[in-house]
Amino acid sequence: MNFSKFASRFDSQSGIVQLMDDLGNAMSGNSDALMLGGGNPSHIPGVQQYFRDSLHRLIENPTLFAHAVGNYELPQGNQEFINAIVELMNKQYQWGIKVENVALTIGSQSAFFFLFNMLGGEDETGIHKQILLPMTPEYIGYSDVGLSDDLFYSYRPLIEKQDNHFFKYHVNFDDMNIRENTAAMCVSRPTNPTGNVLSDIEISRLLSLAETHDVPFIIDNAYGEPFPNIIFTETNPIWNKNIIYCMSLSKVGLPGTRTGIVIADEPVINLIRNMNAVINLATGNFGAMITKDLISSGEILRLSQFQIKPYYQAKVMHAVKIIHKELDGLEYYIHKPEGAIFLWLWLPELPISSDELYERLKLRGVIVISGSHFFPGLVEDWKHKHQCLRITYSMNEKIVEKGIKLIAKELKSIL
């Protein structure tokens, strides 16, 4: 069968396909592997109980249940949920947004497919527009969503080595050159895969550059404030009409509902609404309807601050402690864990590539993600790209501990 050029973009094995295949097999019980490579959030008992109670209330209300399963939603998304988001963000941060500034998507991945392709690629004059990622490593899911080649360009970070085997990435403003064909800038904050949180000063400088060059500034807030608030340092979230702010219900604990939230200027929201109608007809109902009261009451702030954040803080401290113990005597660095649900391990003396290490660890029954997948738009062959691993610490602590011990055992056999 002859497929189209469009189909060929999905024909090869990308990092995100590999990630989701491994994650799906592990989470479905089809594999005995220790899953330290996925992005699945933890099943936090107190948070899950809230969702169960909310779902019961939805099922027991005939009118709400009928709407949830029997009606198409508006292409912009559930209006009561959107109203609740507007009220929450304005109360929390005084952003002054309106309902016309918010649209829902079928997960954040869908939102970035829409955004990158509405802004990047060939424009009406024939110019190929690109998305600037100011710093890599950056999210694996960006790499393959573009419908045109060479959609991204990016730059190496500055590396600051710290005490006790930690290090931190910083934006290298001195080397960053914003090209004339730049369509937008995009960062994740906290950053997936590294757990890095760009400082308020870095965000302010990037926004200033974006405004100077008249391009939108996309902030991927899947792990940040106000929910799920898996962020362990102080930040001041900002928004104006030049910022496209992307959020999600996934890391609150609802990845199965596939609910993304985009806050942007009205022309962007109108396009997302139209894309939803053409591609999906409508957005999903369940995520918005299960969490509407959680949002409108402000209870999501309490859950995020007092259950979700401390839960992950305890887990990351445990995982770091195990790494320090098991990798003692080896040359290694952990990116300072400032947020998200991952640890980023740098092995500067690794004699093989991180891709090969991934395969060897898979044979030992532990799944991680090779760092080589997290450098979209960085064309140069930087040795550092092949010396890193992303390790998820959101799984059961015994699984995390056993997996880290196997990683250490493999590393000690080759270092």
Tell me, yes or no, whether 262 and 167 share the same domain.
Answer: yes
Tokens 């998305």 found at: 131
Instruction: Kindly state whether residue 64 falls inside one of the protein's structural domains.
Output: no
Q: What CATH number is attached to the domain comprising 118?
A: 3.40.640.10
Query: What is the average per-residue pLDDT within 270-281?
Result: 95
pLDDT greater than 90 at residue 321: yes
Residue 143: which pLDDT band, with cuts at 50, 70 and 90?
Answer: confident
> How much of the chain, in percent, has pLDDT values that exceed 70?
94
Q: Report the predicted TM-score, pTM, of the whole model to 2 decimal places.
A: 0.94
Other Cβ atoms closer than 10 A to 333: 20
Answer for the pair 289, 68: CB distance below 8 angstroms, yes or no: yes
- pLDDT tens digits for 306-320? 999 999 999 999 999
The span from the CA of 245 to the CA of 229, in Å, is 15
Verify cis geometry, omega within 30 degrees of 0, for the bond prior to 226. yes
The span from the CA of 160 to the CA of 127, in Å, is 37
| DSSP designation for 231 | B
Answer for the pair 236, 266: CB distance below 8 angstroms, yes or no: no
Answer for the pair 335, 344: CB distance below 8 angstroms, yes or no: yes
The span from the CA of 130 to the CA of 412, in Å, is 42
Task: Report the relative pairing of strands 366-367 and 128-133 from DSSP bridges.
Answer: unpaired
The span from the CA of 151 to the CA of 393, in Å, is 31
Tell me, yes or no, whether 273 and 409 share the same domain.
Answer: no
Tell me, yes or no, whether 129 and 248 share the same domain.
Answer: yes
Q: Which residues pair with 256 in a beta bridge?
A: none
Instruction: Kindly state whether residue 223 falls inside one of the protein's structural domains.
Output: yes
CA distances from 290 to 43, 68, 287, 300 (A): 16, 10, 5, 12
Instruction: Kindly state whether residue 363 falls inside one of the protein's structural domains.
Output: yes
Tell me, yes or no, whether 150 and 11 share the same domain.
Answer: no
- Considering 237, 266, 297, which residue would you say is the last residue of a domain? 297
Tell me, yes or no, whether 286 and 317 share the same domain.
Answer: no
Instruction: Kindly state whether residue 59 falls inside one of the protein's structural domains.
Output: no
The span from the CA of 278 to the CA of 281, in Å, is 6
Whole-number pLDDT of residue 146: 87
Tell me, yes or no, whether 323 and 277 share the same domain.
Answer: no
- Considering 264, 297, 330, which residue would you say is the last residue of a domain? 297
- pLDDT tens digits for 38-87? 888 999 999 999 999 999 999 999 999 999 899 999 999 999 999 999 99
Other Cβ atoms closer than 10 A to 240: 13
Tell me, yes or no, whether 143 and 237 share the same domain.
Answer: yes
Tell me, yes or no, whether 247 and 374 share the same domain.
Answer: no
Query: What is the average per-residue pLDDT within 159-174?
Result: 97
CA distances from 266 to 27, 166, 241 (A): 39, 42, 9
Tell me, yes or no, whether 244 and 377 share the same domain.
Answer: no
Query: What is the average per-residue pLDDT within 348-356?
Result: 97
- pLDDT tens digits for 190-235? 999 999 999 999 999 999 999 999 999 999 999 999 999 999 999 9
Tell me, yes or no, whether 285 and 184 share the same domain.
Answer: yes
Instruction: Kindly state whether residue 140 falls inside one of the protein's structural domains.
Output: yes
Tell me, yes or no, whether 128 and 145 share the same domain.
Answer: yes
Verify cis geometry, omega within 30 degrees of 0, for the bond prior to 228. yes
E strand map for 134-176:
152-154, 158-161, 166-170
Both tokens assigned to 369:
């993600």
Verify cis geometry, omega within 30 degrees of 0, for the bond prior to 75. no
List Cβ neighbours of 361 (8 Å cut-off, separation of 6 or more). Answer: 367, 368, 406, 407, 410
Tell me, yes or no, whether 184 and 41 share the same domain.
Answer: no
CA distances from 372 to 13, 86, 134, 346, 389 (A): 14, 38, 17, 12, 8
Task: Report the relative pairing of strands 243-248 and 260-263 from DSSP bridges.
Answer: antiparallel
Answer for the pair 97, 244: CB distance below 8 angstroms, yes or no: no
Whole-number pLDDT of residue 232: 97
- Considering 255, 280, 297, which residue would you say is the last residue of a domain? 297
Indicate the number of domains in the chain: 2
Provide the domain limits for residue 18.
Answer: 5-47+302-414
Query: What is the average per-residue pLDDT within 251-272?
Result: 96
The span from the CA of 51 to the CA of 57, in Å, is 10
Instruction: Kindly state whether residue 168 falls inside one of the protein's structural domains.
Output: yes
Answer for the pair 212, 244: CB distance below 8 angstroms, yes or no: no
Query: What is the average per-residue pLDDT within 319-331?
Result: 97
Whole-number pLDDT of residue 235: 94
Instruction: Kindly state whether residue 145 falls inside one of the protein's structural domains.
Output: yes
Q: What CATH number is attached to the domain comprising 20?
A: 3.90.1150.10
> How much of the chain, in percent, has pLDDT values that exceed 90?
87
| DSSP designation for 214 | T
Phi–psi pair at 129, nearest 5 degrees:
-95, 145
Verify cis geometry, omega within 30 degrees of 0, for the bond prior to 190. yes
Instruction: Kindly state whether residue 65 falls inside one of the protein's structural domains.
Output: no
List Cβ neighbours of 294 (8 Å cut-off, separation of 6 or more). Answer: 50, 54, 300, 303
